[in-house]
Structure 1
Amino acid sequence: MTATTDPVPLGPTSLAWAYFADTRLLLVGPRAAVLQNMLPALGQGVLDHSVFFAETFARLKRSAGPILDTVYGGTGAPASGRRVRDFHHGIKGALPDGTRYHALDPETYFWAHATFFDHLLYGIETFVRPLSTADKRRLYAESRTWYRMYGVSDRVMPETWEEFEEYWSRMLAETVVAHRTARYGVGYATKGLPAPPRVPKALWRAVSPPLNAVARFVTVGGCHPRMRELLDLPWSEADERRYRRFASAVRRLGVLWPLLPEAVRYLPQARRAFARDGRPRVR
């Protein structure tokens, strides 16, 4: 690909199209967002420049749509990717030790993408179906196409699935930290969800305990063990058994999934793409 040539977008024959906007993957919880912020440069960029702390859910909603459009945007996907990239031009500063950071540094930008790919992979295997090594190689190759939609340097992007596995293991073992931004992103898992402004206090006291229990279960259960370790998230062997039973039940119910309306099964970006270019032709 040259600087003036857009990459060929993903389409109905890709595994990414079949799964990235599958609503079952919402059950993964905020794994990708929290992992992103465990990279010091990215966590600091959010802390210094984002409205994440003041408008957490609004910020996540604004970010999700354009990223989904880099997968489902068809011929418009490269333009969507460039818009996502351009949001980050001014996100730069210094870490507490004085090291400079910029959101468009190749190592930082690829880490953010890697967490979305991990979300896709983990979500499919946990809540949809097992993936073969061939599937993983195919999905990773597609993720490389998806990454090129952003129009940023791909010099740090691993070439193969096997090289990505090595990169991922190394990042989790040596690079991620319990950054303040990441701790904030999972704070409700131990402290409880904040009360919505228009909900009466008495009603919130009544409904919040089960909501908090579900939020904790989904959030902490969806975390990689290294995340739980660094962020001090309690998770027992009994919790793990319950989570595995829950995931198994969701996978078994997959036989009924095609019977549900498409609006239940897929996010809007995917539904628009299916109407434009055809439904996924792989499962």
Structure 2
Amino acid sequence: MTELAEPSQRADALPLGPQSLVWKYFGDNRMYLIGPRPAVLQNMLAELGQGVLDHSTFFSDTAERLKRTVPPIFRTVYGAEDDNAGTQVRDFHHHVKGDMPDGSRYHALDPETYFWAHATFVEQVLYFADTFVKRLTREEKEQIYLESKTWYRRYGVSDRPMPADYAEFERYWDRMMNEVAVAHKSARYGVGYVTKGFPCPKAVHPVVWRVVATVFDPVAAFLTTGGLPPRARELLQLPWSERQERNYQRFAAFWRSAPVNWVWDHLPMSVRYNRFAQRGYARG
């Protein structure tokens, strides 16, 4: 059964806003460096992957699906406490329900399923910042997690499965990855280009794409595979060598370096952040 809740700011969480770390990192345009990490991991929960397979246009029209889904999530984060898109995001999922292959039922608004989707975004912020911006302290990780509780409550879905603090979230994440995650068809499909290459986009001439793909495909494969947890790579059978891992870590260290961060921090806001983050910071 689904459980809905009234969103509110509570004492066990921290607020979102210009001083929050979630705002600082979630809309940062360097986020592309982690590849499709949250989307792939979401689909490794069998119930969520089945919902995508049964109801989503992600595979038939990926660009349109992203255009429809991603903006409301950013508006949830960068909106005001009393003016955000959280319940709109929730209501997109009322019809996403059906049968699992074993005959059991799934519903996107089941608290455990919905929280897993959110958890992959929280972990995305943590992973991105710690890998490509700076090594986060324990206190910063705790702050990000407590801010994410406010974020989740904006959806108006039961927070029953939500861990109380970052330590509990770590244990939750490890259990989900090591005991629950599976190589669902939706997840496998979502990373198929790692070994097969990207299909030619509709708007690009095939001859042009063959030239572009010689650079685009290996870069996309590197960012996608390197940006996944080792357990996910193992389940999805994605090729990854020790040499590739060393190269990935050198790549990440370059982005974390002081000179690169200094240059990035001195670029215009319009370069550093997406439009939703820019609007949030402008509103204050």
C-alpha distance in 1 between matches for 2:87 and 2:69: 13
Moved more, 227-236 or 257-266: 257-266
* 1:199-238 pair list within 5 angstroms: 199-238=204-243
Give 3-state SS (helix, strand or coil) of 2:102's partner. coil
The structure-2 alpha-carbon separation of the partners of 1:241 and 1:196, relative to structure 1 and needing over 3 Å to count, comes to: same
Give 3-state SS (helix, strand or coil) of 1:74's partner. coil
* 1:126-205 pair list within 5 angstroms: 126-205=131-210
C-alpha distance in 2 between matches for 1:3 and 1:197: 42
Match of 2:278 in 1: 271
Give 3-state SS (helix, strand or coil) of 1:101's partner. strand
The CA RMSD over aligned residues, in Å, is 1.5
Give how far 1:202 is off: 2.3
Among 263, 269, 272, which residue is 1:262 paired with?
Answer: 269
Q: Does 1:245 align with 2:250?
A: yes
C-alpha distance in 2 between matches for 1:124 and 1:131: 7
Give how far 1:3 is off: 5.5
Q: Gaps (5+ residues) in structure 1?
A: 278-283
Q: Aligned residues, how many?
A: 275
C-alpha distance in 2 between matches for 1:4 and 1:204: 48
Match of 1:280 in 2: none
Render the CA deviation track for 1:105-125: whole Å, top value 9, x for unaligned.
Answer: 010000000000010000001
C-alpha distance in 2 between matches for 1:270 and 1:199: 30
Render the CA deviation track for 1:94-139: whole Å, top value 9, x for unaligned.
Answer: 1100010000001000000000001000000111001111111111
Match of 2:22 in 1: 16
- One-letter amino acid of the structure 1 residue matched with residue 93 of structure 2: H
Q: Does 1:44 align with 2:50?
A: yes
The structure-2 alpha-carbon separation of the partners of 1:260 and 1:159, relative to structure 1 and needing over 3 Å to count, comes to: same
Q: Gaps (5+ residues) in structure 2?
A: none
Moved more, 8-17 or 160-169: 8-17
- One-letter amino acid of the structure 1 residue matched with residue 177 of structure 2: L
C-alpha distance in 2 between matches for 1:45 and 1:66: 19
Give how far 1:200 is off: 2.5
Match of 2:128 in 1: 123
Match of 1:72 in 2: 78
Q: What percent identity do the matched residue pairs reach?
A: 57
- One-letter amino acid of the structure 2 residue matched with residue 204 of structure 1: W
C-alpha distance in 2 between matches for 1:75 and 1:65: 17
Off by >6 Å, runs of 4+ in structure 1? none
Render the CA deviation track for 1:218-274: whole Å, top value 9, x for unaligned.
Answer: 111101111100001000001001111111111121111122111110011000011
C-alpha distance in 2 between matches for 1:107 and 1:198: 39
